[in-house]
Structure 1
Amino acid sequence: MPVIPRFRIDPRFALATLTVAALTACSGGGGAAMQMPPTEVNVATVVSKSVTQWDEFTGRIEAVEHIEIRPRVAGYLTGIHFKEGGAVKTGDLLFTIDDREYKAAVASARADLARAEARRALAETEFKRSQALVEARAVSAGELESRQNEARQADADVLAARARVEQAELSLGFSRITSPIDGRVSVARLRVGNLVSPGEPVLTTVVSLDPVYVSFQGDERAYLRYQALARRGEREGSRDAANPVRVGLADEQGFPHEGRMVFVDNAVDPATGTIFARAELANPAGVFTPGLFARVQLLGERLDSALLVHPQAVLTDQDRRYVYVADQVTLPPEMGGTGAPHLGAVRKDVVLGPTIDGLVVVEQGLDADDRVIVNGMRKIFFPGAPVQPIDVPMDQPNTVQAAPAAAPAAAGDEG
């Protein structure tokens, strides 16, 4: 049974010791020292089971596609054809630019094409006539060759004229600016009447809505652990497998949304010791908006026999974490002990792991059969203080139950 070692005196313990000393003095010294009455506390047996670890990170929701809408031709804006902040489809008209100049350019290019086709027709006719005259020896071979070259040049002029028509028609089409994707459009940054140039300025932006990315930074230790698991064949790397993720927003409890990993960067940032990663989430209902803060859980490793306790049971002493367990202890006389063992609160320092389903993994410090005090720790003034345990489930530490009846006193103890 544990024996309470020497420790730094807590003010609450000093008060309790003075109380015990006073009670001992009142007894006249003729009998055994009086112990403090046991404190009722809720206790729960350590949960031991196989669990899947999920590592938690913080991230941001991002659009899969984020498009800046810029003009491709110069001119004055003549129309804005969308509701700012509204949903748009691919091909929906967003802006129009004054197109009169571009319509004139198309007409001119088509006229040039018609002239080039007429010259080609004339050159082909002259070439055919020269071929017939050569057979009759009415023209020389040199003249025939000249007619043939004129026909080839006319063909090339037609091709060039057609290209100018296509270019003019493209410029005319660029005077109508449409959405390249399905998504949500931002505000119009310029109003009707403003002059724009090719590429400048940004007129608005369009972001896709479904699916979305959640981007986050993984720490170096987690990355190395995942690499080791992959080498041992215990977990596939997120570069090679679409490992599951769970996501929760700022106003949500837990992690109700599920997604999958789609990207892990090729290097760790030496300035921060983190690596960039990205998961994809379905967003058919539009729950996610780009830029939102998100809590992300990434599938970690499987723990076959993990020990778990409720986070409420964990106490802090500077940089240490500890819990109290109910066990048989013997207090020394200077702490009011009688030399006989009793059920008391024993402190155990612990090393904690991740939180899984509301319980925290204890990596070091506890045994599977330990009965951890989960409620009433504030009434324990010093390690070894007598306790009267009330058994409750580990996941319900604040359960109110009646304490078990104390054992009846022996006949020799009466009077």
Structure 2
Amino acid sequence: MKKVTTLFFSLSIGLLLASCGNSDEEKKAAAAAAAGPQAYPVFTVNAQNTELGSEYPATIEGIQNIDIRPKVDGFIQKIFVDEGTVVKKGQLLFTIMAPQYEQEVRTARAAISSAEADVNSAQLQVNKTKPLVEKDIISKYDLDAAQLTLQSRKAALAQAKAALANAQVNLGYTSITSPVEGVVGSIPFRTGSLVSSASTEPLTTVSNTSKVYAYFSLNEKQLLDFSKTYKGNTLAQQMKNIPAVNLILADGSTYPQFGKIESINGQINTSTGSASLRATFPNAMSVLKSGGSASVRIPQHVSNAILIPQKSTIDLQGKKFVYVLGDSSKIISTEIEVMELAKDKFYVVTKGLKAGDKVVLEGFQSLKDGVKIKPEVKSTESVYAGIKK
């Protein structure tokens, strides 16, 4: 009997709590219905011309990076420049102490003096023999022999002069000058260091950075998109139609001067699956350094673009949705398609929206499709105010 009474009491308490719970939910629903639709910010979508920019990591190189190497063996006698010095073409950089080449010059000059004396002696012999032959005092054979001797002495003199020129060239290699105008790189050697023409490390590098090359890569898909974006029957024609590009520096700032894409490698690297491109930028103030890193930004103009704030979209199973305000202030969950490139914090919509549609701006996490809301209209100017032109 006690068990039956206890069971009856428990069931009574459960039914009472359930009725109270249902009552609370009904009260909340009734309160929400009495309060009316909830307010949400809404803005009107419009079409506008905009410019997108795709960025690609790049490495910077001077238009000339010349390794300065010794052509003769010896000790560094003097260094005339410091690292980072701007030098002109022909400016002296290093001198190498190599006395053997000075000795070769002296030896060659002495050989020339000896050869000149031999030539003079042979010439005298020819001059003495010639009239004797003409008077038939001696045979013509003697004159021929004297002339051959003179010819041999002249050849020896020419050889001695060539040896002197070669010795002077080698001696000239002991003074190393800059082949181009540019900036001196690191100098790993110091005065007194032994250097050789077989050394793997250069004395320094002179970089001509009056202009710089920015090298970057595009994968196969990007190359195909690239070729479809810019008109032209040939690659050269397409490159002419590519607009000027920007350079984004390592600190995030934009280089003040524009560059131009001048080269596209026609072959895809099989190991990386990409092709290399080269953009050229002026660098009169030497702001850009050879070996630096940056990003090349290629602009793309889009006419009558539908822009939507990224915060106004919902990602669901790999698709994007927005809430569009429909008739009777009811919202409609609408799927949209967007371009891969974004404009600041805005998506460029290619499908799903049109100019004049009203979209819920934000705060819609608890919304459901078909719910009636109270729209709070936001001005189009305030929504699109953050877009960079």
CA distance in 2 between counterparts of 1:362 and 1:236 reads 32
Within the alignment, does 1:41 sit opposite 2:41 as a pair? yes
- Please state whether the residue corresponding to 1:366 is helix, strand or coil: coil
Within the alignment, does 1:355 sit opposite 2:354 as a pair? no
Point out the structure with the larger helix share: 2
Within the alignment, does 1:104 sit opposite 2:103 as a pair? yes
| Root mean square deviation, CA, Å | 3.3
1:53–1:24: structure 2 CA closer, same or farther, 3 Å change rule?
Answer: closer
Unaligned runs of 5+ residues in structure 1 are 1-17, 329-340, 400-415
**What does 1:190-229 correspond to in 2, within 5 Å?**
190-200=189-199, 201-228=201-228
Displacement, 1:39? Answer: 2.4
Which letter does structure 1 place at the counterpart of 2:276?
Answer: F
1:307–1:117: structure 2 CA closer, same or farther, 3 Å change rule?
Answer: farther
Displacement, 1:233? Answer: 5.4
Displacement, 1:56? Answer: 2.7
1:41–1:25: structure 2 CA closer, same or farther, 3 Å change rule?
Answer: closer
1:390 aligns with one of 358, 373, 377: 377
Match of 2:260 in 1: 260
Match of 1:173 in 2: 172
Displacement, 1:90? Answer: 2.0
1:349–1:327: structure 2 CA closer, same or farther, 3 Å change rule?
Answer: same
- Please state whether the residue corresponding to 2:246 is helix, strand or coil: strand
Within the alignment, does 1:59 sit opposite 2:21 as a pair? no
1:255–1:73: structure 2 CA closer, same or farther, 3 Å change rule?
Answer: closer
CA distance in 1 between counterparts of 2:99 and 2:253 reads 58
- Asked if the contact 2:307/2:346 (under 8 Å) is kept, the reply is yes
Unaligned runs of 5+ residues in structure 2 are 1-21
**What does 1:163-312 correspond to in 2, within 5 Å?**
163-200=162-199, 201-228=201-228, 237=237, 244-253=244-253, 256-300=256-300, 303-312=302-311
TM-score for the superposition, normalised by structure 2: 0.80
Displacement, 1:123? Answer: 2.3
Write the deviation string for residues 242-294 of structure 1: whole angstroms up to 9, x where unpaired: 75222111323456431111211130112222110111100111221123221
Q: Which moved more, 1:315-324 or 1:158-167?
A: 315-324
- Asked if the contact 1:66/1:206 (under 8 Å) is kept, the reply is yes
CA distance in 1 between counterparts of 2:23 and 2:143 reads 130
Match of 2:11 in 1: none
TM-score for the superposition, normalised by structure 1: 0.76
CA distance in 2 between counterparts of 1:395 and 1:215 reads 39
- Asked if the contact 2:75/2:96 (under 8 Å) is kept, the reply is yes
- Please state whether the residue corresponding to 2:283 is helix, strand or coil: coil
- Asked if the contact 1:345/1:387 (under 8 Å) is kept, the reply is no
Within the alignment, does 1:126 sit opposite 2:125 as a pair? yes
1:367 aligns with one of 344, 354, 357: 354
- Asked if the contact 1:42/1:398 (under 8 Å) is kept, the reply is no
Displacement, 1:213? Answer: 0.7
- Asked if the contact 2:85/2:184 (under 8 Å) is kept, the reply is yes
Which letter does structure 1 place at the counterpart of 2:73?
Answer: A
Within the alignment, does 1:141 sit opposite 2:140 as a pair? yes
Q: How many residues align?
A: 363
Write the deviation string for residues 218-245 of structure 1: whole angstroms up to 9, x where unpaired: 1212212333456765996456677522
Q: Which moved more, 1:119-128 or 1:231-240?
A: 231-240
CA distance in 2 between counterparts of 1:396 and 1:135 reads 114
CA distance in 2 between counterparts of 1:169 and 1:20 reads 107
- Please state whether the residue corresponding to 1:222 is helix, strand or coil: helix
Displacement, 1:383? Answer: 3.6
1:321–1:137: structure 2 CA closer, same or farther, 3 Å change rule?
Answer: farther
Write the deviation string for residues 109-130 of structure 1: whole angstroms up to 9, x where unpaired: 1111222222223223323333
